[in-house]
């Protein structure tokens, strides 16, 4: 079983080490100093007191690897469109693409049913290119619950968690998704196969859509955002808007807003990935985590005044820092009028 991890940074590097340690035939696609270090010294995972170094194939050229059984995308979600052509040599008629990224994935409305079946979302998949050229029918969903960092080129630091829920867009438990889950488990991770993967996507996104932009605007850590009454109320307002949109698409939330906020508070003095990106001068994942929810709100006619305001500010912040060139549009005047 040939597996390629495309964008083997913090999360992809963690997966790469775990899969390589389990004996999987895994190749990593990366670039720059991180790629050079992995080629020279291997890829090292630091997890608590443990240290593991592996030596999988590492390249920046997918053509060297050929057709894969699974391509696990662990790029930042806003980078996916930019590598569609480079990814083609990895894709054969039976290749499955696993979207191990935050936010709404390109395949979201594949096998969704109802009036939105086969719709594409401009904020995450401009022109529907990912849908067509990667293939919605190839997709397997994956939620990334662990936190990891690139501590130095070629070195991944595991911070917490090992849970990567997986699921087919159709909800079926197919041999493809089961085989991948079994491999993840053999590699020391949790990988429950879900028959309602979209519920879990929104549960994760529920936090990202509010905590990430608020943290980038305030530089506050999760515990502070969730404790300060004003930022907690703003988070709640965005989450309530988000919940309304998701429920219109048939999503079921297994916890309520307060419990979700409490869960984030307990994570502690953690900087969200968007704040870390801002501080490190790296492009911020605004469209896949925030703009897409606004776009889905507009699709359903649900106003998102709190989200619109925060999105306007975080987009401006990112543009000024030179870390955003996405699609975010000005807040919908109709939504602001409702506010």
Ligand X SMILES: NC(=O)C1=CN([C@@H]2O[C@H](COP(=O)(O)OP(=O)(O)OC[C@H]3O[C@@H](n4cnc5c(N)ncnc54)[C@H](OP(=O)(O)O)[C@@H]3O)[C@@H](O)[C@H]2O)C=CC1
Ligand Y SMILES: CC(C)(CO)C(=O)C(=O)O
Q: How far is the CB of 76 from ligand X (least distance, A)?
A: 5
Which one of ligand X, ligand Y, none is in contact with 99 (Cβ closer than 5 to 8 A by kind)? none
Q: Out of 204, 252, 266, 271, which one is annotated catalytic? A: 204
Which one of ligand X, ligand Y, none is in contact with 7 (Cβ closer than 5 to 8 A by kind)? ligand X
Q: Which long-range contacts (CB under 8 A, 24 or more apart) does 333-338 make?
A: 334/303, 335/297, 335/303, 335/304, 335/305, 335/308, 336/305, 336/308, 338/303, 338/305
Which range binds ligand Y by CB under 6 A, 47-55, 239-247, 265-273, 306-314?
265-273
CA distance 54 to 200: 31
Q: How far is the CB of 185 from ligand Y (least distance, A)?
A: 22
Closer to ligand X by Cβ: residue 29 or 238: 29
Which one of ligand Y, ligand X, none is in contact with 11 (Cβ closer than 5 to 8 A by kind)? ligand X
Which one of ligand Y, ligand X, none is in contact with 101 (Cβ closer than 5 to 8 A by kind)? ligand X
The structure tokens 């991944």 sit at 156
Of 247, 266, 234, 280, the residue nearest 161 (C-alpha):
266
Task: Identify the residue among 21, 39, 112, 270 touching ligand Y (CB under 6 A).
Answer: 270
- Kindly list the residues in this chain that would bind ligand X in the complex (CB under 6 A): 7, 9-12, 29-32, 34, 60, 74-77, 79, 83, 101-102, 144, 147-148, 150, 273, 285
Tokens of 19: 């899969």
Tokens of 24: 């999987």
Q: With binding defined as CB under 6 A, does residue 206 bind ligand Y?
A: no
Judge residue 115's burial from the number of C-beta atoms within 10 Å of its C-beta, 0-12 exposed, 13-18 middle, 19 or more buried: exposed
CA distance 236 to 250: 21
Q: With binding defined as CB under 6 A, does residue 112 bind ligand Y?
A: no
Q: How far is CA 325 from the centre of its chain?
A: 19
Sign of the four-CA dihedral 46, 150, 74, 28? negative
Q: With binding defined as CB under 6 A, does residue 148 bind ligand Y?
A: no
Closer to ligand Y by Cβ: residue 54 or 98: 98
- The neighbour count for residue 242, using CB atoms within 10 Å, is 29
Q: How far is the CB of 119 from ligand X (least distance, A)?
A: 21
Tokens of 192: 């429950």
CA distance 314 to 215: 10
CA distance 100 to 129: 18
Q: How far is the CB of 257 from ligand X (least distance, A)?
A: 20
Q: With binding defined as CB under 6 A, does residue 211 bind ligand Y?
A: yes
Closer to ligand Y by Cβ: residue 2 or 282: 282
2 is catalytic: no
Q: How far is the CB of 234 from ligand X (least distance, A)?
A: 21
Task: Identify the residue among 231, 273, 291, 315 touching ligand Y (CB under 6 A).
Answer: 273
Q: How far is the CB of 154 from ligand Y (least distance, A)?
A: 23
Closer to ligand X by Cβ: residue 175 or 281: 281
Position of minimal CB gap to ligand X: 9
Task: Identify the residue among 68, 81, 148, 208 touching ligand Y (CB under 6 A).
Answer: 208
CA distance 12 to 27: 11
Which one of ligand X, ligand Y, none is in contact with 60 (Cβ closer than 5 to 8 A by kind)? ligand X
Q: With binding defined as CB under 6 A, does residue 102 bind ligand Y?
A: yes
- The neighbour count for residue 22, using CB atoms within 10 Å, is 15
Of 48, 46, 43, 50, the residue nearest 29 (C-alpha):
43
Which residues are tagged catalytic? 204
Which residues lie near ligand Y (CB under 6 A)?
102, 207-208, 211-212, 270, 272-273
């Amino acid at each position: 079983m040939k597996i390629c991890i495309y964008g083997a940074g913090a999360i992809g590097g963690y997966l790469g080490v775990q899969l390589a340690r389990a004996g999987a035939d895994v190749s990593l696609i990366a670039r720059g100093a991180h790629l050079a270090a992995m080629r020279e010294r291997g890829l090292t995972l630091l997890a608590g007191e443990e240290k593991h170094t592996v030596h999988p194939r590492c390249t920046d050229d997918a053509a060297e690897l050929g057709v894969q059984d699974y391509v696990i995308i662990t790029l930042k979600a806003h980078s996916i469109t930019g590598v569609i052509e480079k990814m083609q040599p990895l894709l054969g008629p039976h290749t499955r693409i696993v979207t191990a990224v935050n936010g709404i994935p390109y395949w979201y409305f594949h096998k969704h049913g109802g009036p939105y079946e086969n719709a594409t979302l401009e904020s995450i998949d401009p022109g529907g290119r990912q849908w067509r050229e990667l293939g919605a029918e190839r997709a397997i969903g994956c939620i990334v619950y662990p936190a990891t960092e690139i501590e130095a080129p070629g070195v991944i630091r595991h911070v917490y968690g090992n849970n990567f829920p997986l699921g087919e867009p159709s909800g079926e438990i197919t041999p493809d998704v089961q085989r991948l889950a079994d491999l993840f488990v053999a590699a020391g991770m949790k990988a429950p196969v879900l028959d309602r993967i979209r519920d879990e996507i929104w549960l994760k996104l529920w936090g990202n859509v509010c905590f990430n932009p608020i943290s980038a605007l305030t530089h506050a850590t999760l515990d502070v955002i969730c404790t300060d009454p004003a930022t907690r109320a703003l988070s709640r307002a965005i989450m309530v808007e988000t919940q309304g949109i998701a429920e219109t698409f048939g999503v079921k939330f297994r916890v309520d807003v307060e419990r979700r906020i409490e869960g984030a508070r307990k994570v502690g003095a953690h900087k969200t990935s968007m704040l870390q990106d801002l501080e490190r001068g790296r492009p911020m994942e605004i469209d896949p985590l925030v703009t897409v929810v606004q776009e889905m709100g507009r699709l359903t006619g649900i106003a998102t005044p709190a989200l619109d305001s925060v999105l306007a500010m975080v987009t401006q912040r990112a543009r000024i820092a030179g870390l955003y060139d996405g699609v975010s549009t000005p807040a919908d005047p109709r939504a602001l009028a409702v506010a």
